[in-house]
Amino acid sequence: MKIILAQQNYHIGNFESNTQKIIEAIEEGKKQQADLMVFSELCICGYPPHDFLEYNDFIEKCNESISIIRSHTQGIGVLVGCPSVNEKKEGKNLFNSSYLLYNNEVVDVVHKTLLPTYDVFDEYRYFEPAYTWHTMVFKGKKLAVTICEDIWNLGDNPLYRICPMDELIRDLPDVMINLSASPFDYTRIEERKSIIQANVEKYKIPMIYCNTVGSQTDIIFDGGSLVFDKHANLLKEGKYFEEDMITVNFLDDGTFEEIILASSEDISSVAWNPSVYDQHLHTDRIYDAIVLGVKDYFSKMGFKHAIVGSSGGIDSAVTLAIACDALGKENVHALLLPSQFSTGHSVDDAVALSKNLGNPCDLIAIKPVFDAFMEQLKPIYKDLPFNLAEENIQARTRGNLLMAVANKFGYILLNTTNKSECAIGYGTLYGDMAGGISVLGDVYKMQVYALANHINRHGEIIPQHIIDKAPSAELRPNQKDSDSLPDYSVLDAILYQYIERRHGAKEMVALGFNKSIAEQTIRLVHLSEYKRNQFCPIIRVSPKAFGMGRRVPIVAQYPS
């Protein structure tokens, strides 16, 4: 049996595009004389559709797409993911399902059992879990078809009380097939391979795993579809961060006619140790993920041009370089907005960066606008000393000018705030926190430096002076971030322990961190929650990003 996995990039709710993409893959499968095509979870509507699932018209369009695709399955089997209606009228109205289409008919449908409701997932809000299990029979083979989370309930402390494969294995299936929409984070590739390996070792049959690819606002899907034989050898691995088609021949004896890529003992050799903070952790993956996130955000929203506030600092430099890579240098406008406190080298660095990248740039000095604000505020401010209020006026002046240019020419403003700043509130609402999407909001400051070095790996794009100089917002004379913050290498390590590892100050002290700095940092994280709730979507690359995946109260006294 020749099986082709179609790893594709879908657009949520764009039924015409998704359906056409699936049909084109089926037609290619026919040319290659494939017996079975495997697509990913909820490929018909795109994942995650969220509250679109509550609209009857959305479900009707899903069904219409199934009918259209079904008409193209003469002589070829097709597994696609789609919502299906719960006809029993008990529990939720929908199932998250996999359809087997063949010879213009719906041959079988199976439903997802394990519905994740944690981090970025909220599937039990919409779907009813499966309550019966059976293998699909196709061309004499028994297929144990599962959907994404269904294969993840292994280990000593399982999250769910049931494991679908424990039920399906009773039918003595020939192969496991998993339709997935598994989001990217920089730990996920090794973890994903490990969990599939564990399934194969437990059930002693091969597994075919088809993952989706592409960005859906804040969530990145990295692809990397996989094929394992019954001995847990990795036979095929799809491309990462791009579409791919993977072909395997499944033989009658339950083996694949393919060359082994890696032995099972090699699969977890690069496993990430989550107890350690590593600023250079999988930098290339993070970079590729963010580029895809920016590219898909613009293409799927119908945008073309971006604008970036280029300060001569490391964050805006990395953001600008990523944007040029994702959108094309001609489509990214840099706006330099020096204040009276900006150094000459900051302007020079920003100009040099745009020259290296080849993107258009302009300069608007903000001092005249700031002076006008101060003149109008003088009757109220009187002779009060310069403080944070005046700093924020400068930041908001920059934000207003960036948005003015964006609105006039139809640009989308890319936010340059990093995760360290976002965590502790080191940013100005409606100023440097403005933007349509946050490019670096899930990347700690030290990781930003690693990204800069990655960008420069083949030659200097980001001027070395930008990388070497001390970070500064340049909103008061001789200002440096270190005036009010711990060194970023210390700050990032504390933030990582608190946000990703969920360790409190006591646990951090046991790990050797300074108690006062840890407690102060945690306090700043909580005080800044109101800011993050007004922030733009953040491209997610870590196991715990701000946004939907981390929900804490704004008004709360924990920790005390």
Residues annotated as catalytic (active site), given as ranges: 41, 112, 148
Encoding tokens for residue 326? 């994702």
CA distance between the termini of the chain: 62
> Do the Cβ atoms of 243 and 8 come closer than 8 Å?
yes
Distances (CA, A) of 158 to 153, 275, 555: 5, 21, 33
Residue 319: exposed, middle, or buried by beta-carbon count in 10 A (0-12, 13-18, 19+)? buried
Tell me which residue has tokens 């964006």.
406
Give CA–CA dist 430/434, Å, rounded.
5
In 3D space, the residue among 534, 443, 414, 540 whose CA is nearest the CA of residue 48 turns out to be 540
Give CA–CA dist 533/507, Å, rounded.
27
Give CA–CA dist 148/133, Å, rounded.
15
Give CA–CA dist 309/353, Å, rounded.
12
In 3D space, the residue among 337, 319, 190 whose CA is nearest the CA of residue 267 turns out to be 190
Give CA–CA dist 73/26, Å, rounded.
8
Q: What does residue 208 show for φ and ψ, rounded to 5 degrees?
A: -115, 125
CA 374 to mean position of chain CA atoms: 42
Encoding tokens for residue 211? 């993952």
> Do the Cβ atoms of 307 and 333 come closer than 8 Å?
yes
Provide the 3-class DSSP secondary structure of residue 12: coil
